[in-house]
Every structure is written in structure tokens, then in C-alpha cells.
Amino acid sequence: MVWKRCFIFFGIVCFGIFLGNGKVECSDSRVVSCKNFPDRTVLLTFDDGPSSATKEVLDALKNENASAIFFIVGEKANEREGKKILKLIADSGHMIANHGYKHVTMTKLTEKEQISSLDKTNSCIKEFQKTVLYFRPPGGACNNILKRSVNSLGMKIMFWNVDPRDWKKNDCGARPSHSALKERILKGLEDQGHKGIVLLHDIHLNTALAVPMILDALKKNGYSFMKPEDVLKYQKASK
């Protein structure tokens, strides 16, 4: 009986790790996979903006000639400042993608509400970019209905497989140090076979200020940055 309990416990722990990493192990064509990315390639993604810290991220990316995907929240993009930042993102050659109109658990919405949220956000983005290719569900909460809604608007879902937990504060209320974020990303990529989609949040100034150190470490460890427009190329190869 003891071994049985151990086995169940081990199973629960494994499942917890699986969820915690937001790991992308999926053969669903509606979901983006990084499985066929070239070795030592990393796609940088920034969620929850636009915010005043986004500009810091853009400067850091420019210095290293790296590009990224920004999963934006529609209602923030609809504000005057938000629009300016979206324009900056697009003018800097990055990709803007959909993170819902409000930052809510999309699976709790009806299909009609989901489509409205996705569509309104796409309208904000399309002022600065021709098409919207990707949606990322807030909190990673997804099901078949949401996949269908996303798909019906011509988008694919993009999760992540490396999460340095830049949003999480410690017991003293401090966010992770820049070097902790860097180390978590390097370790996460190593665990994922040296390729991946990294989740960061450009609403936190701490994260934005860590980006130069992160980019430098990635380069020094032989990683190159996946261009957002090339992601689809590596989906077709997977079939």
C-alpha cells in the first residue's frame, strides 16, 4: 500500500510541475509548438501590457537586435497612452498579439463573450498591424470552446514552456532579482532541450530592467532569438 501511495503522490507532483511550467507538449494544430524550433533558439514574449515599462523593454531589445511578441490586453491598448505604446512596438518591428480585452479567465466566458473580447482586442491591434496571428489565454486557462473561438478569428494559441515567474513576489514583497530571472530562464531552457518560448511581463518595471541582463546571458550561452514572423515556418515542419 505504501508504494501505491508514493506512486500517487509522485503522480500529483509531476502533474503540478507540468502545470507550473505551462509546458507546451501538444500536437494540436490550433496550438503553437516550439518542438521544431532550431536548437538554441528562444522566442521572447511579453504579456499584460502595454504599460509605461514597455518602452524599457523595447530599448533593451533594440540594443541586442532581438525581436519579441507582445501579448497585449485590449482595454489597456484602448487608452491614449496605450495606443502610443502599441505604435512604438509595431514601429520597432515586433509583433503584437492578443491577450483578451480584459485580463480574465477566458474559459469562464460564454463563447459569444470570448469572441467579442478577442475581436475587440484585434481591432485595437489592427490599427498598427495588418493581421493578428496569436492569442495567449490569461493564466494559461484554455479549453476546446476557447480554442474554437480563437480559431474562428484566424488565430492560433500560444502558450509558453519557460516561466521565470517574474510576477511572483517573495515573502518580503520583492520581485525576483535580475540575476534570479536570468538563471531561471537559462535553467528552464536547459530543461526544455535548449529551445523554448519564454514568458515575461512588461507591466513590471523590474522585469523590463532585467531584460538587458537576460538577453546578454542568452547570447553568451549560444542562444539566438526567434523572429516572431518565423514561428509559423516551424509549425508546418512539424506535420
Residue closer to Zn ion, measured from CB, 166 or 234? 166
**Span interacting with Zn ion, options 137-145, 157-165, 217-225, 226-234, rule CB under 5 A:** 137-145
Cell numbers found for residue 184: 531561471
* Residue 138 binding Zn ion, by CB under 5 A: yes
3-state secondary structure of 235: helix
Total residues contacting Zn ion (rule CB under 5 A)?
3
**Span interacting with Zn ion, options 19-27, 133-141, 178-186, 213-221, rule CB under 5 A:** 133-141
- Cell 474554437 sits at which residue? 148
CB atoms within 10 A of CB 175: 19
Residue 132 CB partners (closer than 8 Å, separation 6+): 96, 97, 98, 121, 122, 125, 126, 153, 154, 155
Using CB under 5 A, which of 42, 43, 48, 157 touches Zn ion?
48
Which residue sits closest to Zn ion, CB atoms considered? 47
| Residue 89: closest CA among 132, 113, 59 | 59
| Element containing residue 10 per DSSP (H, E) | helix 2-21
Residue 103 CB partners (closer than 8 Å, separation 6+): 48, 73, 138
**Helix H segments across 67-204?**
74-77, 80-91, 111-125, 144-152, 178-191
In the complex, least distance from residue 137 CB atom to Zn ion, rounded to whole angstroms: 9
Footprint of Zn ion on 62-91 (CB under 5 A): none
| Residue 47: closest CA among 116, 118, 96, 107 | 96
Residue closer to Zn ion, measured from CB, 13 or 19? 19
Local structure of residue 228 (DSSP, 8 states): G
Binding mask 7-46 for Zn ion (x = CB under 5 A): ----------------------------------------
Footprint of Zn ion on 142-161 (CB under 5 A): none
Residue closer to Zn ion, measured from CB, 48 or 166? 48
**Span interacting with Zn ion, options 112-120, 136-144, 157-165, 176-184, rule CB under 5 A:** 136-144
Residue 131 has phi, psi (to 5 degrees) of -130, 160
Residue closer to Zn ion, measured from CB, 160 or 223? 160
In the complex, least distance from residue 51 CB atom to Zn ion, rounded to whole angstroms: 12
Are 54 and 195 in contact, with CB atoms under 8 Å apart?
no
In the complex, least distance from residue 96 CB atom to Zn ion, rounded to whole angstroms: 14
* Residue 47 binding Zn ion, by CB under 5 A: yes
Using CB under 5 A as the criterion, which residues of the chain lie in contact with Zn ion when the complex forms?
A: 47-48, 138
